[in-house]
Amino acid sequence: MTQINTRPLDGITVISLEHAIAAPFCTRQLADLGARVIKIERPGVGDFARHYDTRVDGLASHFVWTNRSKESLTLDLKHESATPILEALLGEADVLVQNLAPGAAARMGLDFSTLHERFPRLIVCDISGYGQGGPYETKKAYDLLIQSEAGFLSVTGGPEPAAIAKAGCSVADIAAGMYAYSHVLSALLLRGRTGEGSNIDVSMLEGLVEWMGYPLYYAYDGAPPPPRAGASHSTIYPYGPFPTGQGGTVMLGLQNEREWQLFCKTVLRQPDLATDARFDANAKRSENREALREIIESVFARLGPDDVIARLDEAQIANAHVNDMAGVWQHPQLAARKRWRDVASPAGPLPALLPPGRSSAFEARMDPVPELGEHSAIILEQLGYGADDIANLRASGTI
């Protein structure tokens, strides 16, 4: 099928009062599908994620990741001159996304019940740590804190009490951003049937607790939870990272007894081990994992990582390289599938990964990462403001 230039969200306008990760990740994905996303930022400061670091040619890594294809409008929402600008924008918008501090949107009259009276087709998506209502509604929430509240930290890291570990990326923010994204899409579909906008209330806590479904049910009705097992599996063995010769590490995973027999024969080259009474069932292998680990490591120590992977591939045992970030940048599968594109930015062209999932009908939008306030004048001109008006708004600190 030949790709066409029309994207699913062409013609949809999103206004976003956003910072950090959850809301920007949601709206960037809406922009990927063609939506016009107008990101409202504080004059002179902007989204504080702009200043997390300077690792991307002077730009912040988080910001580059979550803000391409957007327009940046600086606007001090506390300034009286900002109100008619925001009203005009919302009057033409399809979606408002916000992850301001709890209660801040309502204090500015940007809650759904207030906005719905004037803009009945507007979809309002509120993203917060704990959601609307309940004793935690106003509690501050950062990614690490939600990982803790959601029980995520109880199943990550090593078995020792001091080896508790958080995820190396913002999983709670990402979970909330993904659910906000999918809910906005569903709200647009619903509006197409009813003609009415709706309110979406996304909680970081609930997003991550949903992802904890397996360990939650494993510990159902007071049963012991799965133990922390580092990068290994808490109940399946061998499954996880194993050191090899030449200072390498290989990740592998066995799922059934047929694979165990192949592993012994083809990878370890010890076929008799398959019927060893200590290891002839997964539960026994898991119970005696230290003894089995010694056997596996003694074999792997004589082999380089590529040799181990070659044997695993021959046995059709699932395996993977343990890549660092440099390895991911150079991953041959991503290169072969042509998943990288260059996008413009204030620092010049930067590589960006195409959104996961490939459509035969269109290619995702991959437009520049905006400079702070880069589109303020253009947006205001589109709203009917003249050059003198815009100059006065700058002088007053409104934009």
Tell me what the pLDDT averaged over the chain comes to: 95
Chain centroid to Cα 352, Å, comes to 15
Same domain, 264 and 360: no
Same domain, 58 and 182: yes
DSSP 292-337: HHHHHHHHHTTS-HHHHHHHHHHTT-EEEE---HHHHHT-HHHHHT
How many domains does one find in the chain?
Answer: 2
- What is residue 128's three-state secondary structure? strand
Whether 136 has a pLDDT exceeding 50, the answer reads yes
348-363 pLDDT, tens digit per residue, is 999 999 999 999 999 9
Whether 129 has a pLDDT exceeding 90, the answer reads yes
**Cα-based torsion angle of the residue sequence 60, 62, 68, 72 in order, rounded to the nearest 10 degrees:** -70
Round to whole Å and give the CA distance between 314 and 262.
9
Q: Is residue 5 part of a domain?
A: no
Q: What is the domain-level CATH number for residue 360?
A: 3.40.50.10540
Q: What is the domain-level CATH number for residue 270?
A: 3.30.1540.10
CB atoms within 10 A of CB 364: 19
Whether 3 has a pLDDT exceeding 70, the answer reads no
The residue segments making up the domain with residue 30 are 13-211+339-396
Nearest to 39 by CA among 345, 372, 367: 372
Which of 297, 322, 347 lies at the terminal end of a domain, its last residue? Answer: 322
Q: Is residue 131 part of a domain?
A: yes
Which of 263, 295, 322 lies at the terminal end of a domain, its last residue? Answer: 322
Joined together, the tokens standing for residue 44 give 């002179």
| 233 in catalytic set | yes
Whether 248 has a pLDDT exceeding 60, the answer reads yes
For 220-246, what is the mean pLDDT?
89
Round to whole Å and give the CA distance between 241 and 320.
9
361-384 pLDDT, tens digit per residue, is 999 999 999 999 999 999 999 999
> 163 pLDDT band (50/70/90 cuts)?
confident
For residue 242, the cross-strand partners are 250
The answer to whether 66 and 28 have CB atoms below 8 angstroms apart is yes
Same domain, 244 and 190: no
Same domain, 121 and 264: no
Q: Is residue 80 part of a domain?
A: yes
Whether 194 has a pLDDT exceeding 70, the answer reads yes
- What is residue 249's three-state secondary structure? strand
Q: Is residue 8 part of a domain?
A: no
Which of 268, 294, 322 lies at the terminal end of a domain, its last residue? Answer: 322
Q: Is residue 225 part of a domain?
A: no
Same domain, 51 and 171: yes
Round to whole Å and give the CA distance between 211 and 175.
8
CB proximity list for 113: less than 8 A, separation 6 or greater? none
For 140-168, what is the mean pLDDT?
90
User: What 8-state DSSP symbol labels residue 222?
Assistant: G
Catalytic residue among 79, 233, 321, 375: 233
Same domain, 158 and 206: yes
Same domain, 88 and 22: yes
Q: Is residue 4 part of a domain?
A: no
Same domain, 39 and 143: yes
Per-residue pLDDT at 2: 55
Q: Is residue 226 part of a domain?
A: no
Same domain, 269 and 373: no
Residue with tokens 């009203």: 87
Same domain, 310 and 354: no
Least trusted range by pLDDT, from 41-45, 53-57, 157-161, 266-270: 157-161
- What is residue 243's three-state secondary structure? strand
Query: What's the first-to-final CA gap in the chain, in angstroms?
Result: 45
Same domain, 245 and 383: no
For 18-41, what is the mean pLDDT?
98
Strands (E), 188-238: 199-203
Percent of the chain with pLDDT over 90: 92
Whether 1 has a pLDDT exceeding 70, the answer reads no
Q: Is residue 50 part of a domain?
A: yes
Same domain, 244 and 359: no
For 31-36, what is the mean pLDDT?
98
Per-residue pLDDT at 231: 79
79-116 pLDDT, tens digit per residue, is 999 999 999 999 999 999 999 999 999 999 999 999 99
Round to whole Å and give the CA distance between 41 and 47.
6
For 56-85, what is the mean pLDDT?
97
Whether 227 has a pLDDT exceeding 90, the answer reads no
> 234 pLDDT band (50/70/90 cuts)?
confident
